[in-house]
Amino acid sequence: MSEETNMIHAEQEHPEETPVQETETLTEEMPAEEPLPEPAEETKTPETSQEPVKTRGYHPVLNALLCAFLGIGGGYTGGRIAVRSAQPETPAEEIQEQEPVQQTTVQNVVYTDSGELTISEIAAKSAESVVEITVVVQQTSYFYGSYTAEGAGSGVIISEDGYIVTNHHVIKNAQSITVRTTDGKEYPAELIGTDEKSDIAVIHIDANNLKPAEIGDSSLIKVGDTAVVIGNPLGTLGGTVTNGIISALDRQLTINNQALNLIQTNAAINNGNSGGGLFNGQGQLIGIVNAKDSGTTSSGAIIEGLGFAIPINEAMDIANQLIESGYVTDRATLGVSLQTLDYDYRGRKAGLYITDVIDGSGADNAGLQPYDRILKADGTEITQYSDLSYLLQKKQIGDTIELTIDRDGQEITCTVTLTAPFNGN
């Protein structure tokens, strides 16, 4: 059963005067940070809002808090931080330079013959593999000017020689990253690679003989199985253990305009748990925690016990590609940058627009152009980025997708051959 919900931070709101939503890029090669371009005779479209796209949900009104790290400064982490304070005019720390490290591919190793452990046994087995992460970014504020912002999250050790998996949103735009292990030691970390679409990132610390988590198989878990979360809630409570069950599988959710397929659990999750581990009854890592729902419905009902994690099979696949190449190499892309209009604006109808086409991409070869509005993909109506993203997730490089577009009031149908990302950019 597929459900879709919007995971939005309660402190972030869309400015009323800006109808244009956040730009999303269907390639890894062309970021779409700029607003939708206007023809020469038209007034320039207002700048793109940096808020997550509002999407359909299974609650009438659903405010969702990403289990992001505790942050200082408004707007940090793209609407994912729940608790903030400011430190104006504090110089940012620098990432310590390190010697190049040998790249390591971490394989999924599954142990299925061990029996169910107690919660205390799971904690004893796995807690040492979960670390605290602190990041520093440079922020600019109307009131404070330029200042540093600090945030915290969690991560899971996946190799003895210092590779750690966490969330993209935990380390997004970080100028420095510091890792603290359970023995109290702190290490400067190097960013190996990060992937916004899957919300997975890999960092590395110069350390040996670390205790990696035992990697499980997320395809084997069942609803009702034991679930244990270990992480750094509130950015100050590293090593916190909470438990519950696997509440649901294959939850298709839209978070910050990215379509994700997640594990649902009722184990307590708070801000700062992002990037931490979800473990099964054998103490095996089966997911990377990344989000929770929080708030009330339109009727006033309180939302509780809804936490989510990225299945470890997907997370490790992405992590290995990041370690080997620095980016995801096997994702099928159109080769365009996209931008959504919430409602009709200056003669343009609401919908999903192409803002840029990558030279040599499948979209370029199919004749797609900026200002084309995508109406359908493989016969499915498209009104926002996540509609298209769900379809593309099922595609492989070399597959085709049939697009129906509106160009200056005329409907055009074309077939696009999907390609690999261009240099991971």
Domains and CATH numbers, the chain: 16-56+331-417 (2.30.42.10), 64-93+114-329 (2.40.10.120)
Tokens 């988590």: give the residue.
213
| Whether residue 199 lies in the annotated active site | yes
| Whether residue 59 lies in the annotated active site | no
pLDDT at 140: 79
Is the distance from CB of 362 to CB of 334 less than 8 angstroms? Answer: yes
pLDDT at 36: 55
Handedness of CA 379, 425, 200, 103 (dihedral sign): positive
Judged by phi (left if over 0) then psi (alpha if -120 to 50, else beta), residue 272 lies in left
On the question of pLDDT at 114 being above 70, the answer is no
- Tell me the pLDDT band of 83, cut-offs 50, 70 and 90: very low
More confident residue, 292 or 10: 292
Is the distance from CB of 365 to CB of 348 less than 8 angstroms? Answer: no
On the question of pLDDT at 11 being above 90, the answer is no
| Whether residue 408 lies in the annotated active site | no
On the question of pLDDT at 268 being above 70, the answer is yes
Total Cβ atoms within 10 A of residue 69: 33
Phi, psi for residue 388 in degrees, rounded to 5: -75, -35
More confident residue, 143 or 135: 135
Catalytic residue among 49, 247, 274, 337: 274
Tokens 């307590």: give the residue.
268
Q: What is the rounded average pLDDT of the residues 155-172?
A: 95
Q: Where do the H-state alpha helices sit in 166-240?
A: 168-171
Q: What is the rounded average pLDDT of the residues 37-62?
A: 39
Catalytic residue among 169, 198, 337, 389: 169
pLDDT at 63: 38
On the question of pLDDT at 23 being above 90, the answer is no
Catalytic residue among 9, 198, 199, 361: 199
- Tell me the pLDDT band of 43, cut-offs 50, 70 and 90: very low
